[in-house]
């Protein structure tokens, strides 16, 4: 039995009332004795039933406390944004070397003639760190010294939905928990007034990528750990206000009665879903005041709004969502995921890139600057990137999906600032297979490491098998950790 | 089949008592018969008892040979035990054939008894360990040196060498021209080179040798000798990795907690840090439910905690802070942002000697109150954004030697004053860093000097 199993038993024990205890005497005494051996705190009894995470304490010193994942859905072209390839430019318009592509998996370019496509955009050496960043991203260029650009990331799934799932859960199989759920399961949330895992979907004319809600599912973990999607426009959470004629105290009474009835059932069974229902009712009640406070951006200064490029606070734009993300981070939300869905450029690459970069560049950079001036970049991990990259071969006026290499950047939360990690071959086709190569599993392992979590120790048993976010793989990129 | 073999082998220590018993019984019979004619031993009883002894001696020997295959006993002891036991078994067979020639029979009987006793004793040592018979029991709880004054080399590493290595690499016996009994001799190294490479445990000869497979001839300590425990191995590696200092006090080195436990165990200090950590956490959790703050243990390895009062808002003020101060030295990270803490409360921070990160944003603290932070020599990050502080802040925090991050956005502090301070403070840090570097270079030089001198005066010591 691993310590985690003991903890699990002890956690269950916590939910047992005196009555259940007497009713289930035989196992009760055993678990009580066991529990008191493991964690005296549980026997002493805590009044709150807040989830503090399955890990008694992080395995090593944590740097990050929360994640803001700026998910560029569709697959941004690393070749036009972060991975400068002069050789590809030189080959522009010529046949792509067959030696590289023979026998390789392609999405839509299967069986067509492969032509190299160089970037149409300039790259600039930025900051003291001298990282090469595309001129499409003038604002991100200014934070070059704060970010770590990973150019050797690679994934296993070549289509959007499974690739998103792989990025979120480390598997393309349905029913696995996403990374936000794993973090909540492992560490709990700092706030009891907002969900610990919130998803925001930016709206706009170019937002054409469908993203399924399974991407923030808690899979086989109890459903209290799943992501909660806030509406980007209008009321962020539906029906959060009281109906006409119901005041807050009446509402409280209703909730309390429902809680009492639910807890009768919870006493009888150890079903985590009943617990989930109880905690969600409580959370929903608290959200009746916390959500309006969160989304009321009138207290943001004009300077801040300008920094992000917010024209109309709360309009569902990426900029507005970035600002909202910072407000959530301040209020203790553990995992915040922002989707921008305009990066799938099979055609019209140059124009569409300009539009998408125009949406995201300023607000992304502003988020880093804002977190930094508030001292929050020390413990907030920001991850910027898509589910895969795009081919160095052209597809008409665009590029196809590409999994052998793509670029993301990370900042804050224990990540070394101003460095590049990993590289690709001269044409940006495949990651260089050295110690800086980074598989999605490695990204997950590194992410958990910034939280002080040993990714091999965060385990949940489902249907007789132990599961991890990194499955049976994942190596920590120690080189990018502070 | 293998299971049965293993099982029978394990019966050896049990069955082994039977031939001893029967044989000694035989001796008693012979002895009483010799002195008192009334009890004169009849030939048939002698025959019977001797047969039983032989039978069980052979059985025991067989089981013993089976057991020897499956266990990793000390090879030397095992060989001796086997030798004496087999000689004894052979002698009993001889006894059987000469049982009618009284004089020779009695002579061989006495000789056999000698071999039996030696064989039995060796067997007991194999089963119960070397110290089983020693009169002086080791009392590890006796404090050898106080941890405050203990030296890392003389009080921890050298005793380890003494215990595990010096028997063969010492003044009496210096295998491979290597002696580990004194500092000077150790730095000389041996026939195959230096003992270690300071700062790099994995490429150090001693560590390589320790990690070789037990069957390798070069494995140290050799097969059959007491091996280093995992803790001792980790200790030695850590010591080499930090540059193998020979004259530093333990209290001068920043020792990771897990290593401190190992070192304390070596010094004979009873392990206290763990209950301490638990009691701190227990106290912290009482305050947690009282005030609604969040308290974390920083990590499983760390005795320090993080206290977060941010989400309590104005409900958390100076009075609450005073109660938290009770946990003072254990707090490494403290978030008081958005709370009702004022200058009056800051005095309670003085006792938090290990504080590394402090957040005071959105509070009513002013420059005047920040003088209270002077004792926080380990403070690395101080967040004061959106407070009423002004340029006077720099006078107050001048003496914070570890400060690396200072957040002053959205305050009255002027850009020029901030810039001036930044330059001054960076210079200060650089000087401090420089001093630290010089210190460590000095340390390395004493090592290199020692080994260089040695190389000249003993040109043949390394081939």
> For residue A310, how many C-alpha atoms fall within 13 Å in the half-sphere facing its CB?
26
Instruction: Look at residue A418 in the predicted model and tell me its pLDDT.
Output: 95
Q: List, in order, residues 6 or more apart from B87 with CB less than 8 Å away.
A: B115, B119
Residue A441 pLDDT grade (very low, low, confident, very high; cuts 50, 70, 90): very high
Q: How far apart are CA A444 and CA A473, in angstroms?
A: 10
- What pLDDT, in 10s, does the model give residues A155-197? 999 999 999 999 999 999 989 999 999 999 999 998 889 999 9
Range from A217-221, B167-171, B184-188, B269-273 that averages highest in pLDDT: A217-221
Lowest mean pLDDT among A170-179, B222-231, B368-377: B222-231
Rounded to two decimals, what is the model's pTM? Answer: 0.67
Q: List, in order, residues 6 or more apart from A76 with CB less than 8 Å away.
A: A343, A356, A385, A386, A389, A390, A406
Contact check, Cβ <8 Å, A452/B299: yes
User: Which residue among A57, A190, A374 places its CB closest to the CB of B297?
Assistant: A57
Q: How far apart are CA B365 and CA B392, in angstroms?
A: 13
Give me the number of domains chain A comprises.
2
Instruction: Look at residue B102 in the predicted model and tell me its pLDDT.
Output: 83
CATH number of the domain residue A108 falls in:
3.40.720.10
Three-class SS of residue A31?
A: helix
Residues A166 and A21 in one domain: no
- What pLDDT, in 10s, does the model give residues B294-347? 888 888 877 889 999 999 989 999 999 998 888 888 899 999 999 999 999 999
Instruction: Look at residue A207 in the predicted model and tell me its pLDDT.
Output: 67
* Ramachandran class of A93: left when φ > 0, alpha when ψ lies in -120 to 50, beta otherwise: left
Mean pLDDT of B74-81: 82
Q: How far apart are CA A226 and CA A67, in angstroms?
A: 15
Contact check, Cβ <8 Å, A57/B381: no
Q: What percent of chain A has pLDDT over 90?
A: 67
Q: A457: which chain B residues are within 8 Å (Cβ-Cβ)?
A: none
Residues A20 and A130 in one domain: no
Whether residue A112 lies inside any domain: the answer is: yes
Would the pLDDT of B129 be above 80? Answer: no
Would the pLDDT of A3 be above 70? Answer: no
Contact check, Cβ <8 Å, B409/A48: no
Would the pLDDT of B12 be above 80? Answer: yes
Instruction: Look at residue B437 in the predicted model and tell me its pLDDT.
Output: 64
Instruction: Look at residue A44 in the predicted model and tell me its pLDDT.
Output: 32
Would the pLDDT of B177 be above 90? Answer: no
ipTM given for this complex: 0.83
Q: How far apart are CA B65 and CA B44, in angstroms?
A: 32
Mean pLDDT of A94-113: 87
Q: A378: which chain B residues are within 8 Å (Cβ-Cβ)?
A: 357, 381, 405
Would the pLDDT of A66 be above 90? Answer: yes
β-bridge partners, B405: B381
Would the pLDDT of B137 be above 50? Answer: no
Whether residue A247 lies inside any domain: the answer is: no
Whether residue A248 lies inside any domain: the answer is: no
Q: How many CB atoms lie within 10 A of CB A297?
A: 16
Residues A26 and A125 in one domain: no
Would the pLDDT of A28 be above 70? Answer: no
Instruction: Look at residue B442 in the predicted model and tell me its pLDDT.
Output: 59
Q: How many CB atoms lie within 10 A of CB B39?
A: 11
Residues A95 and A12 in one domain: no
Q: B280: which chain A residues are within 8 Å (Cβ-Cβ)?
A: none
Contact check, Cβ <8 Å, B385/A373: yes
Instruction: Look at residue B230 in the predicted model and tell me its pLDDT.
Output: 85
Q: B403: which chain A residues are within 8 Å (Cβ-Cβ)?
A: none
Mean pLDDT of B456-461: 39
Nearest chain B residue (CA) to A332: B311
Nearest chain B residue (CA) to A453: B299
Instruction: Look at residue A198 in the predicted model and tell me its pLDDT.
Output: 96
Would the pLDDT of B458 be above 50? Answer: no
For residues B243 and A84, the model is more confident at: A84
Residues A224 and A361 in one domain: yes
Contact check, Cβ <8 Å, B301/A60: yes
Instruction: Look at residue B229 in the predicted model and tell me its pLDDT.
Output: 86
Residues A101 and A146 in one domain: yes
Residue A43 pLDDT grade (very low, low, confident, very high; cuts 50, 70, 90): very low
Q: Edge-to-edge strands of the sheet including B294-297?
A: B294-297, B305-308, B331-335, B357-359, B381-383, B405-407
Rg (CA), chain A: 24
Residues A101 and A28 in one domain: no
Would the pLDDT of B71 be above 80? Answer: no
DSSP assignments along A265-312, one per residue:
HHHH---HHHHHHHHHHHHHHHHHHHHHHHH-GGGS-HHHHHHHT-SS
Question: Chain A, 24-43: which have a CB under 8 Å from a chain B CB?
Answer: 40-41
**Are the beta carbons of A209 and A341 closer than 8 angstroms?**
yes
Nearest chain A residue (CA) to B406: A375
User: Which residue among B281, B310, B361 places its CB closest to the CB of A375?
Assistant: B361
Instruction: Look at residue B36 in the predicted model and tell me its pLDDT.
Output: 85
What does DSSP say about strands A147-154 and A406-411: parallel, antiparallel, or unpaired?
antiparallel
Q: How far apart are CA B234 and CA B228, in angstroms?
A: 10
Would the pLDDT of B21 be above 80? Answer: yes
Nearest chain B residue (CA) to A369: B409
Q: How far apart are CA A260 and CA A338, in angstroms?
A: 36
Whether residue A34 lies inside any domain: the answer is: yes
Mean pLDDT of A440-449: 97
- What pLDDT, in 10s, does the model give residues B404-435? 899 999 999 999 999 999 888 888 878 777 76
Q: Comparing C-alpha atoms, which of A336, A427, A446, A363 is closest to residue A389?
A: A427
Nearest chain B residue (CA) to A304: B410
Residue A38 pLDDT grade (very low, low, confident, very high; cuts 50, 70, 90): very low
Tokens of B69: 């295959």
Mean pLDDT of A290-313: 93
Contact check, Cβ <8 Å, B381/A378: yes
Contact check, Cβ <8 Å, B383/A57: no
Tokens of A284: 């929903």
Mean of pLDDT over chain A: 87
Q: B405: which chain A residues are within 8 Å (Cβ-Cβ)?
A: 375, 378
Q: B409: which chain A residues are within 8 Å (Cβ-Cβ)?
A: 373-374
- What pLDDT, in 10s, does the model give residues A48-62? 457 888 887 888 889
Three-class SS of residue B30?
A: helix
Tokens of B183: 């500092």
Instruction: Look at residue A244 in the predicted model and tell me its pLDDT.
Output: 85
Contact check, Cβ <8 Å, B302/A48: no
**Are the beta carbons of A51 and A184 closer than 8 angstroms?**
yes
Instruction: Look at residue B246 in the predicted model and tell me its pLDDT.
Output: 83
Contact check, Cβ <8 Å, A58/B298: yes
Q: Comparing C-alpha atoms, which of B360, B431, B362 is closest to residue B396?
A: B360
Residues A17 and A129 in one domain: no
**Long-range residue pairs from A136-139, CB within 8 A, at least 24 positions apart, any chain:** A136/A80, A136/A81, A136/A353, A136/A354, A136/A357, A136/A361, A137/A81, A137/A357, A137/A361, A138/A361, A139/A361, A139/A362, A139/A364, A139/A365, A139/A366
- Cα dist from A20 to A261, B2, B84, B104, whole Å: 16, 50, 66, 81
Whether residue A353 lies inside any domain: the answer is: yes
Residues A330 and A360 in one domain: yes
Residue B443 pLDDT grade (very low, low, confident, very high; cuts 50, 70, 90): low
**Are the beta carbons of A318 and A202 closer than 8 angstroms?**
yes
Q: How far apart are CA B454 and CA B184, in angstroms?
A: 9
Would the pLDDT of B135 be above 80? Answer: no
Residues A170 and A222 in one domain: yes
Mean pLDDT of B224-253: 85
Residues A25 and A76 in one domain: no
Q: Comparing C-alpha atoms, which of A17, A13, A5 is closest to residue A36?
A: A13
Q: A41: which chain B residues are within 8 Å (Cβ-Cβ)?
A: 281-282, 285
Would the pLDDT of A361 be above 90? Answer: yes
Instruction: Look at residue A392 in the predicted model and tell me its pLDDT.
Output: 96
Q: How far apart are CA A191 and CA A430, in angstroms?
A: 42
What percent of the residues of chain B are helix, what percent strand, and what percent coil, each to the nearest 5?
Answer: 60, 5, 35
Q: How far apart are CA B160 and CA A315, in angstroms?
A: 69
Would the pLDDT of A26 be above 60? Answer: no
Instruction: Look at residue B328 in the predicted model and tell me its pLDDT.
Output: 81
Instruction: Look at residue B73 in the predicted model and tell me its pLDDT.
Output: 67
Q: B359: which chain A residues are within 8 Å (Cβ-Cβ)?
A: 375
**Are the beta carbons of B407 and A375 closer than 8 angstroms?**
yes
Lowest mean pLDDT among A147-151, A307-311, B38-42, B416-420: B38-42
**Are the beta carbons of A278 and A259 closer than 8 angstroms?**
yes
Whether residue A270 lies inside any domain: the answer is: no
Work out the angle at residue B65's Cα, subtended by the Cα atoms of residues B62 and B71, and round it to the nearest 5 degrees.
140
Q: B410: which chain A residues are within 8 Å (Cβ-Cβ)?
A: 373
Q: Comparing C-alpha atoms, which of A65, A70, A332 is closest to residue A186?
A: A65
Mean of pLDDT over chain B: 82
Question: Chain A, 153-192: which have a CB under 8 Å from a chain B CB?
Answer: 190-191
Instruction: Look at residue B150 in the predicted model and tell me its pLDDT.
Output: 81
Look up the domain containing A288 and give its range: 66-239+284-480
Whether residue A275 lies inside any domain: the answer is: no
Q: How far apart are CA A365 and CA A346, in angstroms?
A: 26
Mean pLDDT of A304-308: 96
Q: Determine the distance from the C-alpha atom of residue B234 to the mean position of all C-alpha atoms in its chain, rounded to a whole number.
A: 7
Q: How far apart are CA A390 and CA A404, in angstroms?
A: 9
DSSP assignments along A364-406, one per residue:
HHHHHHHHHHTT-TTTEEEEEE-SSEEEEEEETTEEEEE-S-E
Residues A215 and A296 in one domain: yes
Would the pLDDT of B107 be above 50? Answer: yes
């Amino acid at each position: 039995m691993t310590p985690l199993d003991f903890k699990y038993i002890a956690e269950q024990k916590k939910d047992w009332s005196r009555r259940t205890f007497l009713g289930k005497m035989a196992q009760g005494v055993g678990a009580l004795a066991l529990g008191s051996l493991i964690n005296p705190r549980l026997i002493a009894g805590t009044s709150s039933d807040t989830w503090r995470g399955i890990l008694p304490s992080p395995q090593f010193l944590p740097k990050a406390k929360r994640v803001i994942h700026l998910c560029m859905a569709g697959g941004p072209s690393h070749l036009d944004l972060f991975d400068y390839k002069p050789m590809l430019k030189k080959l522009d318009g010529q046949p792509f070397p067959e030696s590289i592509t023979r026998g390789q998996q392609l999405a839509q370019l299967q069986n067509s003639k492969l032509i190299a496509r160089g970037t149409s955009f300039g790259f600039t050496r930025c900051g003291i760190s001298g990282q090469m960043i595309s001129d499409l991203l003038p604002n991100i260029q200014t934070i070059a010294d704060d970010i770590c650009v990973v150019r050797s990331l690679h994934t296993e799934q070549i289509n959007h939905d499974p690739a998103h799932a792989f990025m979120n859960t480390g598997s393309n199989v349905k029913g696995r928990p996403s990374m936000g759920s794993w973090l909540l399961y492992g560490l709990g949330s700092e706030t009891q007034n907002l969900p610990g895992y919130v998803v925001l979907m930016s709206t706009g004319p170019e937002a054409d990528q469908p993203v399924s809600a399974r991407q923030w599912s808690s899979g086989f973990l109890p459903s209290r750990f799943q992501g909660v999607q806030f509406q980007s426009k209008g009321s962020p959470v539906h029906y959060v206000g009281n109906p006409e004629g119901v005041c807050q105290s009446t509402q409280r009474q209703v909730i309390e009665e429902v809680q009492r009835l639910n807890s009768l059932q919870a006493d009888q069974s150890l079903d985590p879903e009943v617990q989930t229902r109880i905690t969600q009712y409580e959370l929903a009640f608290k959200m009746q005041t916390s959500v309006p406070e969160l989304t009321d951006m009138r207290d943001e200064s004009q300077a801040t709004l300008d920094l992000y490029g917010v024209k109309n606070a709360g309009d569902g734009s990426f900029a507005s969502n970035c600002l909202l993300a910072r407000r959530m981070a301040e209020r203790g939300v553990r995992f915040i995921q922002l989707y921008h869905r305009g990066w799938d450029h099979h055609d019209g690459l140059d124009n569409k890139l300009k539009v998408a970069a125009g949406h995201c560049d300023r607000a992304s950079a502003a988020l880093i600057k804002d977190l930094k001036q508030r001292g929050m970049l020390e413990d907030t991990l920001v991850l910027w990137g898509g589910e895969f990259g795009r081919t160095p071969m052209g597809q008409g006026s665009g590029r196809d999906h590409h999994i052998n290499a793509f670029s993301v950047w990370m900042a804050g939360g224990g990540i070394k600032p101003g460095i590049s990690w990993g590289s690709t071959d001269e044409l940006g086709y495949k990651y260089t297979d050295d110690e800086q190569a980074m598989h999605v599993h490695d990204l997950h392992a590194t992410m958990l490491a910034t939280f002080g979590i040993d990714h091999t120790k965060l385990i949940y048993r489902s249907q007789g098998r132990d599961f991890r976010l990194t499955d049976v793989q994942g190596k920590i990129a120690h080189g990018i950790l502070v | 089949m293998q299971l049965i073999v293993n099982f029978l082998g394990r019966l050896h220590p049990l069955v082994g008592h039977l031939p001893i018993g029967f044989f000694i019984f035989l001796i008693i019979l012979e002895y009483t018969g010799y002195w008192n004619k009334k009890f004169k031993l009849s030939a048939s009883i002698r025959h019977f008892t001797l047969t039983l002894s032989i039978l069980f001696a052979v059985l025991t020997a067989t089981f013993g040979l089976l057991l020897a295959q499956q266990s990793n006993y000390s090879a030397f002891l095992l060989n001796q035990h086997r030798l004496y036991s087999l000689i004894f078994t052979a002698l009993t067979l001889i006894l059987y054939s000469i049982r009618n020639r009284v004089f020779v029979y009695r002579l061989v009987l006495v000789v056999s008894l000698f071999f039996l006793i030696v064989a039995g004793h060796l067997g007991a040592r194999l089963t119960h360990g070397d110290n089983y018979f020693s009169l002086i029991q080791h009392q590890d709880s006796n404090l050898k040196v106080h941890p405050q004054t203990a030296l890392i080399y003389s009080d921890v590493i050298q005793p380890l060498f003494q215990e595990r290595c010096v028997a063969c690499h010492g003044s009496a016996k210096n295998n491979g021209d290597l002696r580990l009994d004194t500092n000077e001799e150790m730095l000389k190294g041996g026939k195959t080179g230096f003992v270690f490479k300071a700062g790099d445990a994995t490429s150090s000869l001693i560590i390589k040798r320790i990690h070789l497979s037990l069957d390798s001839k070069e494995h140290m300590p050799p097969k059959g000798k007491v091996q280093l425990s995992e803790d001792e191995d980790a200790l030695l590696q850590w010591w080499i990795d930090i540059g193998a200092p020979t004259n530093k006090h333990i209290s001068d080195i920043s020792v990771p907690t897990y290593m401190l436990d190992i070192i304390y165990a070596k010094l004979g200090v009873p392990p206290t840090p763990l209950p301490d950590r638990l009691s701190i956490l227990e106290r912290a959790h009482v305050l947690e439910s009282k005030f609604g703050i969040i308290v974390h243990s920083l990590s499983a390895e760390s005795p320090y905690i993080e206290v977060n009062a941010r989400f309590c808002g104005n409900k958390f003020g100076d009075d609450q802070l005073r109660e938290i101060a009770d946990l003072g030295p254990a707090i490494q990270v403290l978030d008081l942002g958005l709370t009702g803490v004022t200058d009056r409360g800051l005095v309670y921070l003085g006792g938090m000697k290990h504080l590394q990160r402090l957040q005071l944003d959105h509070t009513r603290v002013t420059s005047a109150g920040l003088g209270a932070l002077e004792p926080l020599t380990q403070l690395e990050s101080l967040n004061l954004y959106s407070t009423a502080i002004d340029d006077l802040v720099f006078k107050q925090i001048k003496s914070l030697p570890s400060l690396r991050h200072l957040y002053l956005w959205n305050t009255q502090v002027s850009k020029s004053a901030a810039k001036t301070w930044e330059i001054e403070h960076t210079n200060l840090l650089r000087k401090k860093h420089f001093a630290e570097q010089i210190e460590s270079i000095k340390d390395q030089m004493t090592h290199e000097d020692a080994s260089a001198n040695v190389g000249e005066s003993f040109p043949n010591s390394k081939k």
